[in-house]
Amino acid sequence: MDPKKSDKELINELTLRFEKNNALLKEQHSLLNELQKVNKKLIASEGLKSNFLSNIRNEINNPVASILELSKNISEGTLSVDAVKKFASLIYSETFSLDFQLRNIFASAEIEAGESIVCPVSIKLPSLIETILLSFKHQIEKKNIQIFVSTSIADDENFCSDPEKLHLILSNLISNAVQFSREGTSIEIKFEIENDQFIFSVLDNGMGISTEEKEIIFDRFRQIEEGSTKNYGGHGLGLSITRALLELIDGEIKVESEKNVGSFFSICVNEAKESTIEKDIYSTDGNDFIFVDNDSLVF
């Protein structure tokens, strides 16, 4: 330190250093807090993962047991035609929910393995959404839910994205809306294409989500209600998959909700540019890599 400095200057200098030190300590403290939070979360997540099989056992076992029993009854050949129809329709709806669950499980395994590949093609959105709604017809009718769909997209308008991923994203959003809606209520679905973006929203009159719960609904294996007494099925993968798939196809998801009133989920997806994919991504001529300037290197 400069010996010529006055006492006052020295004190000022020291105060400054103390303040700096304190700030550093504070920062360290908050970082540690953060770390502890993350650590807790990771422990919880790993715990949920190891309980995954036992958690989903019912989800898989119950439908399989009903399908076995129903099909056995049908194959015995003693049922009336009406009974066969009823049983077949039950088998269909059990198999549908099983298939949906399995598709989610496989999708999450694929994403976690980093092997989910994006294949954009031209899609006719109205027919895609109609197909999905039709597939949920059973559940929608069972709960006596009315669906209102509004769009200004023409039937023959094309949108370029990955149809398989979009299918699973929209299925999850619609499935959630149906599942968490009270019986006899309505669901509003809107979709548009604006500025090369696909915007889709679904509004339900269901159980809703509180602000704190908004944090956890996108985490894997997490549901607002947990444990064996929960009222709703599923295994808490749907929204975590939805968000991860949206990231892959260049989209995002927003949620607005009020507890016991309903939820509003909206997604927007940027159109994949077919031309850039062809030209940029699968460039066959290798021209992009001819080393004419200093910017280019071989490693």
**Cβ closer to other proteins: 74 or 248?**
248
Tokens of 123: 């899609």
> Which residues from 101-160 bind other proteins, rule CB under 8 A?
108, 111-118
> Which residues from 204-263 bind other proteins, rule CB under 8 A?
218-220, 240-241, 243-244, 247-248
> Which one of 1, 53, 81, 297 is in contact with other proteins (CB under 8 A)?
297
Query: What is the CA 143 to chain-centroid distance, rounded?
Result: 23
CB of 114 vs other proteins, minimal distance in Å = 4
Tokens of 61: 């076992």
Here the contacts of 69-73 (C-beta below 8 Å, separation 24 or greater) are 70/94
Based on the shown chain and the rule CB under 8 A, indicate whether residue 271 belongs to the binding site for other proteins.
Answer: no
CB of 50 vs other proteins, minimal distance in Å = 13
Q: In angstroms, rounded to a whole number, what is the distance separating the alpha carbons of residues 211 and 208?
A: 10
Strand partners for 257: 263
Based on the shown chain and the rule CB under 8 A, indicate whether residue 295 belongs to the binding site for other proteins.
Answer: yes
**Cβ closer to other proteins: 178 or 253?**
253
- In the sheet that 186-194 helps form, which strands lie side by side, from edge to edge? 146-151, 186-194, 197-203, 262-270, 251-258
Helical (H) or strand (E) element with 69? helix 52-75
**Cβ closer to other proteins: 81 or 292?**
292
CB of 178 vs other proteins, minimal distance in Å = 23
**Cβ closer to other proteins: 43 or 154?**
43
Q: Is 195 left (phi over 0), alpha (psi -120 to 50) or beta?
A: left
Tokens of 234: 């599923």
Fill in the per-residue mask, 32 to 71: x = in contact with other proteins (CB under 8 A), - = not in contact.
Answer: ------x--xx-xx--------------------------
**Cβ closer to other proteins: 114 or 227?**
114
Q: In angstroms, rounded to a whole number, what is the distance separating the alpha carbons of residues 192 and 153?
A: 6
Based on the shown chain and the rule CB under 8 A, indicate whether residue 296 belongs to the binding site for other proteins.
Answer: yes
**Cβ closer to other proteins: 4 or 299?**
299
Side-chain half-sphere exposure of 169, counting CA atoms within 13 A: 28
CB of 107 vs other proteins, minimal distance in Å = 10
**Cβ closer to other proteins: 74 or 105?**
105
CB of 260 vs other proteins, minimal distance in Å = 26
Tokens of 7: 């006492």
Query: What's phi and psi for 270, nearest 5 deg?
Result: -75, 140
- How many amino acids of this chain bind other proteins (CB under 8 A)? 37
CB of 225 vs other proteins, minimal distance in Å = 20
Rounded alpha-carbon distances, angstroms, from residue 266 to 112, 213, 291:
24, 17, 45
Strand partners for 148: 188
Which residue type is seen at 127? S
For binding to other proteins (CB under 8 A), which residues are involved? 38, 41-42, 44-45, 108, 111-118, 218-220, 240-241, 243-244, 247-248, 277, 281-286, 288-289, 295-299
